[in-house]
């Protein structure tokens, strides 16, 4: 993994929750329900910073179009 890839990677739920201004519980819940573009490296939940922008765009589009499946449905 090169330096650019390392800089793009949010490694672990605490890093993801701090970056997204969510609680750890919210991140675990969104990950479990596959509502965040997360993946696992071993047992560690990870997220690429570069995936956040497109994910937020999809969430905004879904909210304005009135579709279900947005972050508000995460509980």
Domain range list for the chain: 3-68
Look at the pTM and tell me if it is higher than 0.85. Answer: no
pLDDT value of position 2:
64
Cα 64 to Cα 59, 69, 70: the distances in Å are 9, 12, 10
Bigger pLDDT: 64 vs 72: 64
Q: How far apart are CA 1 and CA 17, in angstroms?
A: 23
Model pLDDT for residues 10-55, shown as the tens digit of each residue: 999 999 999 999 999 999 999 999 999 999 999 999 999 999 999 9
């Amino acid at each position: 993994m090169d330096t650019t890839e390392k800089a793009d990677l949010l490694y672990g739920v605490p890093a993801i929750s701090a970056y997204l201004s969510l609680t750890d519980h919210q991140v675990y819940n969104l990950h479990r329900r596959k509502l965040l573009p997360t993946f696992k490296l071993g047992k560690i939940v990870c997220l690429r910073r570069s995936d956040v922008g497109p994910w937020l765009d999809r969430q905004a589009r879904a909210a304005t179009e009135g579709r279900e499946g947005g972050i508000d449905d995460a509980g």
